[in-house]
Structure 1
Amino acid sequence: MAHEGGRARFHRLRVTAVDRLTDDSVALTFAVPPELREAYRFTPGQHLALRRTADGAEIRRTYSICSPAPVEGAPSSLRVGVRLVEEGAFSTYAHKEIAVGDEVEVMTPAGRFTLDPHPATEPAPTTGHYAAVVGGSGITPVLSIAATLLERAPHARFCLIRSDRGTASTMFLEEVADLKDRYPDRFQLVTVLSREEQQAGLTSGRLDEERLTSLLPALLPVERVAGWYLCGPYGLVQGAERALHSLGVRRERVHEEIFHVDDGPARDRKAAPTPAHSTVTAQLDGRSGSWAVEDGESVLETVLRNRPDAPYACKGGVCGTCRAFLVSGEVRMDRNFALEAEETEAGYVLACQSHPTTEKVELDFDR
């Protein structure tokens, strides 16, 4: 991660390209000046938070890096994919207003939905076989993962199973086709269109748990895949996770990132209520402070009232930017689509989704 040992920070980066991918998606390319390149060094699969102010309100959104990580050195440019969301405050701005030459506030890379491939000078991974199940814009981080892996690990193989509504809405068609052309023996592509008949290949329809359970063993040696990367809408990711579990895949080999959480469950907010008088103590950039929690606030909201520099991006429990270590006390997390089980077991929480259930809660954002 670019900012290992320090928090992610925003810098103004210049837009060098705005490429229209489909009617409802674009790719934005940012130039990274030499003095900031180390700060923007990234692991394939990470994302960037973009920030703007509109009508006096700050808007942040996270978008995954789609470009491969450079073989040597830090990146001189970064490219992200942006899908237009209905009435989306940032995606509409990206589609209609951002132009080449503009400057955008971009946070340094974050996220743990990653695969750090062995460089070509090192031995290939044990099995060398990786796979992904993606839906819609979930292709974005996986494109970076697959392209970097195939370039750096000459014996690695990657199987991409992608689901889209139709060809016209499929992001990064040319980039994925280029991977197939460059690595015909090591890159396997399976495309499923849910609302459009295909001339060849699989029949149309949704990639649900039942279909994946029968499809995956027919495509590749499931038991020998070193890492599974599931990315896209909540329903697709959960169905793929259940299919892999039924096929005997160990949990530590499965990595997930949710892009859409509208249909995801949230915990009952009436359970484990916040005490009448709660205090949050937070360690941030080596400085500590304690503040009273106002009615209904999340831990992050309490900290932000007093420390506007507290890290966050999506506030939806998806990106993991507000990850913090729970030093003492207890909290209730409404949603968690960013932390792995081993992280929560180790004591990490998402501040944006956490509400105190004890009178005193202490967090450390620096760990």
Structure 2
Amino acid sequence: MARFHSLPVAAVDRLTEDSVALTFAVPPGLREEYRHAPGQHLALRRIVDGTEIRRTYSICSPAPTPDEEGPRTLRVGVRLVEGGAFSPYALKEIAVGDELEVMTPAGGFTLEPAPGLYAAVVGGSGITPVLSIVATLLDREPEARFCLVRSDRTSASTMFLEEVADLKDRFPDRFQLVTALSREEQQAGLPTGRLDEERLSGLLPALLPVESVAGWFLCGPFGLVQSAERALRGLGVRRTRIHEEIFHVDDGSVAAPPGPSLAHSTVTARLDGRGGTWPVDDGESLLETVLRNRPDAPYACKGGVCGTCRAFLVSGEVRMDRNFALEPEETEAGYVLACQSHPLTETVELDFDR
């Protein structure tokens, strides 16, 4: 069960003009709770004028080994979003010694170290979870290789430039790095321009044997991730080998039209070993219903992106407005995003503990 704890800020490192890395110190008594898989994320919480604000940021530091007690520190990358409710505060106000409310790790965009060839296509701050995945994989598994294709606007706007360069120095034979800049010429490497479907369809087979890649990790803005997925599917890559995490979604281009829902429905939810049944108000999501009665229900983005509110649909039927977090295998197994789910039957039962 995800929980918030107050963690002290141990370091604030400026990465670019519009991004920082925040490092949290994890006290011994909480280290097991903050044990994480490479690629998972944290939700940070603050209260502004009586309103609770949560934002999700991926962990960029390597995951602890199974025989470790848990992480001593956790590091996340934050990029400024103009008009955002949290990122301006992170870049301009947070200082070493401050304490922030930090949720325990969540998310399924992960890779447990195993031998084989892996690859990622990332854009902008999408490097953050992949940095943890690559560092953990290459450190722990000597028979693993990784190809990273990253897209940024300019070299000055590239997050974790030094950290990625360090991985290239440490693992020159097992880590392949390809950088594309959309607004700046490079002396070496790819020509300037965006990585769209057509470009990726030609580039990826030239870089590595696409059919031999055990897992593809796509992370960043919606457009890049969709272009990369279409390119890979066109190259014959099975959907089960493609893993995606969306960081930015243009609501205007992907908003779901209003769908059917059922008035006078009730939801039964099991959460942290306790259950309850409540009426669903007209138009609200099942997460909103549960939160009115159980404020400890897990959530972060409420936009169908982070997957923090994932729940198992025990009975009944729901309509999900959109889903950018669950893999097809998860939805087929019966999982839904509570923040996007609306009842289609008179009773619906969710289990947040599965």
TM-score, normalization by structure 1? 0.94
> 1:267 Cα shift?
2.0
> 1:57 Cα shift?
0.3
Answer whether contact 2:38 2:129 (CA < 8 A) is retained: yes
1:266 equivalent in structure 2: 255
SS of alignment partner, residue 64 of structure 2: coil
Q: Which runs of 5+ in 2 are unaligned?
A: none
2-structure distance, mates of 1:236, 1:22: 21
> 1:287 Cα shift?
1.5
Return the letter of the residue paired with 2:302. Answer: K
2-structure distance, mates of 1:144, 1:309: 28
1:152 equivalent in structure 2: 140
| Alignment coverage as a number of residue pairs | 351
Q: Does 1:359 align with 2:346?
A: yes
1:293 equivalent in structure 2: 280
2:205 equivalent in structure 1: 217
> 1:70 Cα shift?
2.9
From 69, 76, 79, the counterpart of 1:80: 76
Higher mean C-alpha displacement, 275-284 vs 241-250: 275-284
1-structure distance, mates of 2:343, 2:313: 11
2-structure distance, mates of 1:34, 1:354: 38
1:59-98 alignment, distance < 5 Å: 59-71=53-65, 72-73=67-68, 74-98=70-94
1:6-155 alignment, distance < 5 Å: 7-71=1-65, 72-73=67-68, 74-118=70-114, 125=115, 128-155=116-143
| 1:256-293: CA deviation from partner (whole Å, max 9, x where unpaired) | 00000125523211x22x22211111111222111111
| 1:168-226: CA deviation from partner (whole Å, max 9, x where unpaired) | 11000000010111111111000000111111111011101111010000000111111
2-structure distance, mates of 1:21, 1:98: 15
> 1:33 Cα shift?
0.4
1-structure distance, mates of 2:265, 2:212: 49
Answer whether contact 2:60 2:76 (CA < 8 A) is retained: yes
Moved over 4 A (4+): none
Return the letter of the residue paired with 1:88. Answer: G
1:234 equivalent in structure 2: 222
SS of alignment partner, residue 63 of structure 1: strand
1-structure distance, mates of 2:197, 2:231: 5
2-structure distance, mates of 1:319, 1:358: 26
From 154, 158, 172, the counterpart of 2:160: 172
2-structure distance, mates of 1:63, 1:230: 16
1:299-314 alignment, distance < 5 Å: 299-314=286-301
SS of alignment partner, residue 308 of structure 1: coil
2-structure distance, mates of 1:28, 1:59: 18
Answer whether contact 2:119 2:147 (CA < 8 A) is retained: yes
SS of alignment partner, residue 185 of structure 1: coil
Q: Which runs of 5+ in 1 are unaligned?
A: 1-6, 119-124
| 1:27-52: CA deviation from partner (whole Å, max 9, x where unpaired) | 00000000111111110000000001
| 1:317-361: CA deviation from partner (whole Å, max 9, x where unpaired) | 111110011111111111101100011011110000111122211
1-structure distance, mates of 2:271, 2:135: 36
Q: CA RMSD in A?
A: 1.0
Return the letter of the residue paired with 1:202. Answer: L
2-structure distance, mates of 1:97, 1:185: 41
SS of alignment partner, residue 226 of structure 1: strand
> 1:107 Cα shift?
0.6
1:208 equivalent in structure 2: 196
SS of alignment partner, residue 254 of structure 2: coil
SS of alignment partner, residue 143 of structure 1: helix
Answer whether contact 2:40 2:106 (CA < 8 A) is retained: yes
> 1:245 Cα shift?
0.6
SS of alignment partner, residue 258 of structure 1: strand
1-structure distance, mates of 2:47, 2:166: 37
Higher mean C-alpha displacement, 71-80 vs 22-31: 71-80
Return the letter of the residue paired with 2:139. Answer: E
1:330-345 alignment, distance < 5 Å: 330-345=317-332
